[in-house]
């Protein structure tokens, strides 16, 4: 089962390596990983999307807590959450095709952030399924380049563990 | 350096402490030495080199600081490991950057697998050169990340004292382990005002010491119901200094005990309720007990694969209770009904307040019958010197009270089987990693921690050759370790597996060409003795014990002796090959 884990860590050099290395050597899978500052000074937040059964998830949490730089680990997917990803998609679009592409962009509430002679960069924000769907629809126009941020997420409301 | 001078009196220690705490403007190297002394370090094991020249310069002429120069960094870290395991204090080793640091890797992994508190100090190239593939540069932090509890790269001399203090705290609390501090050369020469931090602030590191009372109550209730309970006691008993508490717990609950390799010295081998070691080369009784138990209480053990053997089918009837300071161990290998997280000493103390006996008298009776029917035994012969005989002889002549270090292989298992341990911390052996070359140098560290105690290092002829260069430091510092080499002229454990599992296709196990160990010892100025018969064995062993200073004793034993009983890999604990131990 897919899980989204939020990890609060000390903002120290090498922390990403410690966390990623732990996943690697214990055979845990990483589907995506995002890192950035958090609301607490000196702490960063990582959001990792992983897959595993209950036992694996328990081990992931416990092993993460063994890292000295890890302050808190929460499996966000245990509760209602908002999970978002951003993608930039460079699409081949001759001027004649642009209206069609703009149509798709509008439907997905995405936006065009760059227009060049025969390409467009589309920026889309949403859950991973939405981005997958958008990518599928843009494929016929020729995707020149695709980059995705990976999922970042938080639980809804003020639920606190 | 005299070994006795290592331990100074408590009065002079306090004077030293006050002197060290002065807020002088000093270099990183001086800060390092002062902080190590303030942490109570008695002796450091190390090897100099380019990136640690400032540190070694600061040692020059420093009368307070004791450093033992080994002949290989691996010797230094295994010695620090033996020091730590036998004393409960943090072991410290120093190596230079690059190859010096990478030579520590095996020792770090050894300590990590067996939860041994070490602080490993490595030099690194100057900050400005890091990342440029400079001479003797290696990313030792990156290399050791999976095998350290934590690590630090010191970027600013102002952080150094705090980092060292944190490193000692992290190494020796919670589940213990090695911590590495990498100090670039320029940092070791930068000056700052020395401030020794009074407190340690690590908000993200809070190991659980005291257990949840409800969980302990659950455990006690399960014990009162249990008819066939077993305690599996591991290294955690030894590391938490909880042998006394375990004895009280066992006495009150009337539960038979099996001790893992690392737990062996934590419970007296001769006790009525002791069943010896379980697992691959465990006793028939211990394995029988595990397979038939209705309640299995693991205390400071981690259900290693050499203990459980085939997991599917391990302790099939048992409800499992698991006491461990590391929550990640609980549920990692076996499904646990009663988890108790905490320092095992604190858990047992709390449990002992209300512990009542299990319904175990019939079970104890059955265990006693098993012990009588299946004692550990081997086929002795008057005209042969059997390795097991040598271990029994060492056990008897020392009354089970010596510090014993072992290397890895057959002799290690025979020590586990035939040495009757009485005192906690008296067995120093590489269990988790199974590091050959560990046995001899670790004994040097044990002797440094216990200058007046008898320390015996038991090795095979293979492992002895992996770190034999440290004979030099025994000789030059008169470190009186009694070095035993059980010489069967082959890599015995590998040979045994090849015989039993690979149809006697012996592949690269012949150690022909090994040195004459007596001459090797003598070449270093260490007394060497050899025995090939029982009679000689008794005589030379007595001579070794009576000789002050280091002695190497070689016991020449038959090639084809096997360690029995044995549970072949892939089998469950009740599928044992009894071999020569068949009644």
Q: What is the DSSP string of B51-116?
A: GGHHHHHHHTT-TT--EEE-SSHHHHHHHHHHHHHHHSSPEEEEE-STHHHHTTHHHHHHHHHTT-
Element holding B135 (H helix, E strand) = none
Q: So what's the pLDDT on residue B6?
A: 42
Partner-chain contact B146 A21, CB within 8 Å: yes
B74 to B69, B80, B105, B405, B507: CA distances (angstroms): 12, 10, 8, 16, 27
pLDDT of residue A151 exceeding 80: yes
Contact B329, B271 (CB under 8 A): no
Q: Is A71 on the interface with B (CB under 8 A)?
A: yes
Q: Is B185 a catalytic residue?
A: yes
Instruction: Please state, in angstroms and rounded to a whole number, the distance separating the CA atoms of residues A43 and A9.
Output: 5
* Cα A22 from chain centre: 19
What string of H, E and C letters represents the secondary structure of chain A? Answer: CEEEEEEEEECCCCHHHHHHHHHHHCCCCCCEEEEEECCCCCEEEEEEEEECCHHHHHHHHHHHHHCCCEEEEEEHHHCCEEEEEEEEEEEECCHHHHHHHHHHHHHCCCEEEEECCCEEEEEEEECHHHHHHHHHHHHHHCEEEEEECCCEEEECCCCCC
Is B135 designated active site?
A: yes
Per-residue pLDDT of chain B (583 residues; tens, 9 = 90+): 444 444 455 677 788 899 999 999 999 999 999 999 999 999 999 999 999 999 999 999 888 889 999 999 999 999 999 999 999 999 999 999 999 999 999 999 999 999 999 999 999 999 999 999 999 999 999 999 999 999 999 999 999 999 999 999 999 999 999 999 999 999 999 999 999 999 999 999 999 999 999 999 999 999 999 999 999 999 999 999 999 999 999 999 999 999 999 999 999 999 999 999 999 999 999 999 999 999 999 999 999 999 999 999 999 999 999 999 999 999 999 999 999 999 999 999 999 999 999 999 999 999 999 999 999 999 999 999 999 999 999 999 999 999 999 999 999 999 999 999 999 999 999 999 999 999 999 999 999 999 999 999 999 999 999 999 999 999 999 999 999 999 999 999 999 999 999 999 999 999 999 999 999 999 999 999 999 999 999 999 999 999 999 999 999 999 999 999 999 999 999 999 998 877 7
Q: Which of B130, B205, B325 to mutate to test the interface with A (most CBs of A within 10 A)?
A: B205
Measure Cα distances from B573 to B281, B296, B316, B570 in Å: 10, 14, 11, 10
| Minimum distance, in Å, between the CA of residue A44 and any CA atom of chain B | 13
In the residue annotation, B493 being an active-site residue is answered as yes
Contacts of A68 in chain B (CB under 8 A): 149-150, 170, 202, 204-205
Angle between helix A15-25 and helix A54-66 axes, rounded to 10 deg: 140
**pTM, rounded to two decimals:** 0.96
Structure tokens at B570: 């892939």
Q: What are phi and psi of B368, to 5 degrees?
A: -60, -40
Q: Find the largest Cα–Cα distance for chain A.
A: 57
How does DSSP classify residue B383? T
Whether residue A98 lies within 8 A of chain B, CB to CB, comes out as no
Residues 6+ apart with CB under 8 A from B52: B46, B94, B95, B96, B97, B100, B121, B122, B123, B183, B185, B188
* Residue A59 with chain B: CB contacts under 8 Å: 328, 331-332
Tokens read off for B172: 């020796």
Handedness of CA B530, B534, B539, B541 (dihedral sign): positive
Burial B260-279 (b: 16+ CB within 10 A, else e): bbbbbbbbbbeeebbbbbbb
Closest alpha carbon to B578 in B233, B317, B313, B285: B285
B303: annotated active-site residue: no
Residues 29 through 68 of chain A touching chain B, CB cutoff 8 Å: 55, 58-59, 62-63, 65-66, 68
Measure CB to CB from residue A62 to each of B146, B150, B328 and give the nearest one. B328
The answer to whether B204 contacts A10, with C-beta atoms less than 8 Å apart, is yes
The pLDDT of residue B189 is 98
- Which candidate in B89, B185, B319, B527 is catalytic? B185
Find the catalytic residue in B73, B346, B470, B554: B73
Instruction: Using an 8 Å CB-CB cutoff, list chain A residues near B202.
Output: 68
Task: Judge whether A99 is closer than 8 Å to chain B, CB to CB.
Answer: no
Query: In this predicted complex, what is the ipTM?
Result: 0.92
Which residue out of B325, B328, B334 would a mutagenesis test of the A interface target, given it has the greatest number of A Cβ atoms within 10 Å? Answer: B328
Q: How far is A64 from chain B (nearest CA, A)?
A: 9
| Closest CB to A62 among B141, B202, B327 | B327
B91 Cα distance to chain centroid: 12
**Site from A25, A41, A59, A65 to mutate, B interface, most B CB atoms within 10 angstroms:** A65
Count Cβ–Cβ pairs < 8 Å, chain A vs chain B: 35
Give yes or no: B564 in active site: no
Kindly state the greatest CA–CA separation across chain B.
72
pLDDT value, residue B11: 72
């Amino acid at each position: 089962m897919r899980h989204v884990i939020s990890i609060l860590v000390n903002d120290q050099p090498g922390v990403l390596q410690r966390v990623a290395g732990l996943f690697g050597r214990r055979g845990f899978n990483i589907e995506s990983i995002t890192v950035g500052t958090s609301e607490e000074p000196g702490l960063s937040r990582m959001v990792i999307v992983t897959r595993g059964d209950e036992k694996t998830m328990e081990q992931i949490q416990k092993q993460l807590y063994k890292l000295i730089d890890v302050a808190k680990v929460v499996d966000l997917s245990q509760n209602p959450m908002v999970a978002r990803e951003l993608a930039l998609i460079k699409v081949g679009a001759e001027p004649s095709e642009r209206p069609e592409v703009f149509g798709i962009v509008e439907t997905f509430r995405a936006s065009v952030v760059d227009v060049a002679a025969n390409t467009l960069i589309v920026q889309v924000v949403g859950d991973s399924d939405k981005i997958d769907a958008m990518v599928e629809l843009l494929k016929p126009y020729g995707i020149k380049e695709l980059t995705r941020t990976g999922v970042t997420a938080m639980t809804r409301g003020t639920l606190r563990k | 350096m005299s070994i006795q001078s290592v331990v100074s009196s408590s009065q002079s220690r306090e004077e030293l402490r006050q002197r060290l705490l002065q807020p002088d403007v000093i270099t990183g190297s001086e800060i390092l030495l002062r902080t190590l002394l303030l942490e109570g370090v008695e002796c450091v094991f190390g090897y100099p080199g380019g990136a640690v020249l400032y540190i070694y310069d600061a040692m020059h002429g420093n009368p307070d600081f004791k450093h033992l120069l080994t002949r290989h960094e691996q010797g230094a870290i295994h010695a620090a490991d033996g020091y730590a395991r036998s004393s409960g204090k943090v072991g410290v080793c120093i190596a230079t950057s690059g190859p010096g640091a990478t030579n520590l890797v095996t020792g770090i992994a050894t300590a990590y697998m067996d939860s041994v508190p070490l602080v490993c100090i490595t030099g690194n190239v100057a900050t400005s050169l890091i990342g440029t593939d400079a001479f003797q540069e290696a990313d030792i932090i990156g290399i050791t990340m999976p095998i350290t509890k934590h690590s630090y790269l010191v970027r600013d001399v102002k952080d150094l004292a705090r980092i060292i203090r944190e490193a000692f705290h992290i190494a020796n609390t919670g589940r213990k382990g090695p911590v590495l501090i990498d100090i670039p050369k320029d940092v070791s020469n930068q000056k700052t005002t020395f401030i020794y931090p009074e407190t340690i602030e690590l908000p993200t590191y809070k190991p659980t010491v005291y257990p949840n009372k409800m969980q302990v109550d659950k455990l006690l209730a399960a014990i009162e119901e249990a008819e066939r309970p077993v305690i599996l006691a591991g290294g955690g008993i030894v590391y938490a200094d909880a042998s006394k508490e375990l004895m009280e717990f066992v006495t009150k609950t009337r539960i038979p005990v099996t001790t893992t390799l690392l737990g062996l010295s934590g419970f007296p081998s001769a006790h009525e309720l002791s069943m010896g070691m379980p697992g691959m080369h465990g006793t028939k009784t211990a394995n029988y007990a595990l397979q038939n138990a209705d309640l299995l209480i693991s205390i400071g053990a981690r259900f290693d694969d050499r203990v459980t053997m085939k997991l599917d089918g391990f302790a099939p009837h048992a409800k499992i209770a698991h006491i461990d300071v590391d929550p990640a161990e609980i549920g990692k290998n076996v499904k646990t009904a009663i988890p108790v997280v905490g320092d095992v000493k604190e858990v047992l103390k709390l449990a002992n307040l209300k512990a009542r006996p299990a319904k175990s008298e019939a079970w104890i009776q059955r265990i006693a019958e098993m012990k009588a029917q299946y004692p550990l035994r081997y086929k002795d012969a008057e005209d042969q010197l059997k390795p097991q005989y040598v271990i029994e002889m060492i056990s008897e002549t020392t009354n089970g009270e010596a510090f014993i270090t072992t290397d890895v292989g057959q002799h290690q298992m025979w020590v586990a089987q035939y040495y009757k341990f009485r005192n906690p911390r008296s067995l120093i052996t590489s269990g988790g990693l199974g590091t050959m070359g560990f046995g001899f140098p670790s004994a040097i560290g044990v002797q440094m921690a216990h200058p007046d105690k008898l320390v015996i290092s038991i090795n095979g002829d293979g492992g002895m050759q992996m770190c034999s260069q440290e004979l030099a430091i025994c000789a030059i510092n008169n470190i009186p370790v009694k070095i035993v080499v059980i010489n069967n002229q082959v890599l015995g454990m590998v040979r045994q597996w090849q015989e039993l599992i690979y149809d006697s296709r012996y592949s690269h196990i012949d150690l022909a060409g090994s040195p004459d160990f007596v001459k090797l010892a003598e070449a270093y100025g260490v007394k060497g003795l050899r025995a090939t018969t029982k009679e000689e064995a008794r005589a030379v062993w007595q001579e070794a014990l009576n000789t002050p200073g280091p002695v190497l004793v070689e016991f020449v034993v038959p090639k084809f002796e096997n360690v029995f009983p044995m549970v072949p890999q892939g089998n469950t604990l009740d599928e044992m090959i009894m071999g020569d131990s068949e009644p």
